[in-house]
Amino acid sequence: MFPYTKSESQLRSTAPTMTLSTVIMCAVLISLLVSSASAGPRPRDKSKGSRDSTLTNGITVLSFEDKSDPLIAITVLYDVGGRDDPSGKAGLAKVCQWIMNNGSLGYWKGERERLLHAAGGSFSSQVRQDNSTFSTRFPKDLLRQVLLIEADRLENPLITRETVEAAKRSVIREGTIGRENNIYSALTTETLKQSYTTHPYRIDEYGLEAELSAIEPEDVRLFMRRFYQPSNVTLAIVGNFKNKHLLKEVVEIFDDIPSSPKPEHSYLAEPEQTEERRATVNAELQTPVFIVSFHTPSLTDPDRLALEVLSAMLVGNRSSFLYQRLVTESGLCFTVGGAVAEFSDPSILYCYAFLNQGVTFAEAETALLKELENGANGALTGADLTIAKNQMEARFVTSWSGALGRSAKMARSFQVWGDGMYWLDRVERIHDISLSDVLNVAQKYLRASNRSSIFLEPHEATNSQQAPDDEK
């Protein structure tokens, strides 16, 4: 699911711990990038620790030597996610994730985890709308073992009636629990459903229970044969190793895995929105929530970064534009948040507002839309821009700290831009964004005809919290 804004205290409590050497390294990196800021992407010297290679079967290998981290991290990214679920099989990518996590011909269920944990390593996996990732962090003497594990995960998943049925039950249970027990899960699910009419982003990665129940083992085999094969894999490795020795190991273990041509993504594109959409939804919430979303271009579009800066200025933290006006000053809401969803295809910028007791949807909608209009017409200032840029820099430092964060960013960067190190230009490009750039995209995209207005009504609420009458 796409990210949501946490409070400052939550961000502090969940931020990864960074060593002094990592902080210094990230600070130097940012200072070097900022000092050379000018328009457009900059060339980088990739000879300093990084290497890109492609095996004969199509696997892309991205490696980055980093002696500052005693551990090694590997992220295996498959260019397949929720958006690739076939029609009538929403949730199939999540089913495949479960199967790949629960044993293979060479490693029975639980064996891989025991090997990693016994050596002090860790593992996680995730399915998003655009990709599926399997990430491992481990001591360097375990490198060959982990490469063997990932090769077997790729080549020899256990697809049987029993494993598919178990996977379906697990995905249905996880999706149900997540949507019922996490307020932001309900929020994101409804925002996607109401913002998209055609593109598969309208359904979250957990799919739909009825469609999950209909998935058969042959559906899994065909899907995995198409997407979970070498030409669709990026292997990003960061840590304490020598590139030439690493590549020799990778070639020996992965290069003979049979491959087929890289698959194309085939699904219906979202049509341009030409008028406002409005929807009132009963949701598993304790308090009413008003959401507005606006369609935005793809991750590679020239406007995209300015839109991300705009979002940070509007709802990035407690000093942001909308928080100050709707929470601190007017008291209409007890919190606001939002983001630009990090989708590869055309995405959405969304803002949500949790209403204080006694505040009506009409009052919240009027106030929020008025402030968005004011912001687009010049109420956003250079000070707001500076705060937003500083916040985005801090997030970059956090996400790039440690081998695991770097391997994940490298894999995603290659998937989107075809360059594993392109993410390093991000801070530099953020500093190129001017206030004029931000106001231009605000006026271009934050318009009524591009807007979806969503009113999330608690199940136990009565008519006292209805959406404005003009919805009908």
Give the pLDDT score at 227: 98
Dist. CA 156–CA 12, nearest whole Å? 41
| DSSP per-residue codes, 190-224 | HHHHHH-SSSGGGS-TT--HHHHHT--HHHHHHHH
Q: With both helix axes pointing from N to C terminus, report the angle between 161-181 and 217-227 in degrees, rounded to the nearest 10.
A: 80
Give the pLDDT score at 469: 55
Give the torsion through C-alpha atoms of 33, 37, 39, 42, to 10 deg: -30
The answer to whether the beta carbons of residues 82 and 188 sit under 8 Å apart is no
Give the pLDDT score at 148: 96
Q: Note the pLDDT tens digit of each residue in 112-157.
A: 999 999 999 999 999 999 999 999 999 999 999 999 999 999 999 9
Domain boundaries, the chain: 45-254, 277-471
CATH code of the region 45-254: 3.30.830.10
Q: Measuring CA to CA, which residue among 407, 416, 426, 415 is closest to residue 63?
A: 407
The answer to whether 45-254 and 277-471 have equal CATH topology is yes
Give the pLDDT score at 186: 81
Residue 185 DSSP symbol? H
For residue 243, the one-letter residue type is N
Dist. CA 447–CA 71, nearest whole Å? 48
50 half-sphere exposure, CB direction, 13 A CA radius: 16
Dist. CA 425–CA 444, nearest whole Å? 25
Dist. CA 371–CA 373, nearest whole Å? 5
- Where are the alpha helices (H) located in 264-401, listed in sequence order? 304-315, 321-323, 361-374, 382-400
Dist. CA 83–CA 86, nearest whole Å? 8
Give me the residues paired with residue 237 across strands: 63, 74
Q: What is the pLDDT along the chain (472 residues), one digit of tens a residue?
A: 544 333 333 322 333 334 444 443 444 444 444 433 333 333 344 445 678 999 999 999 999 998 888 899 999 999 999 999 999 999 999 999 999 999 899 998 889 999 999 999 999 999 999 999 999 999 999 999 999 999 999 999 999 999 999 999 999 999 988 777 778 888 888 999 999 999 999 999 999 999 999 999 999 999 999 999 999 999 999 999 999 899 999 999 999 999 999 999 988 899 999 999 999 999 878 899 999 999 999 999 999 999 999 999 999 989 999 999 999 999 999 999 999 999 999 999 999 999 999 999 999 999 999 999 999 999 999 999 999 999 998 888 888 778 999 999 999 999 999 999 888 877 788 989 999 999 999 999 999 999 999 999 997 654 445 556 544 3
The answer to whether the beta carbons of residues 98 and 166 sit under 8 Å apart is yes
Q: Note the pLDDT tens digit of each residue in 318-377.
A: 999 999 999 999 999 999 999 999 999 999 999 999 999 999 999 999 999 999 999 999
CATH code of the region 277-471: 3.30.830.10
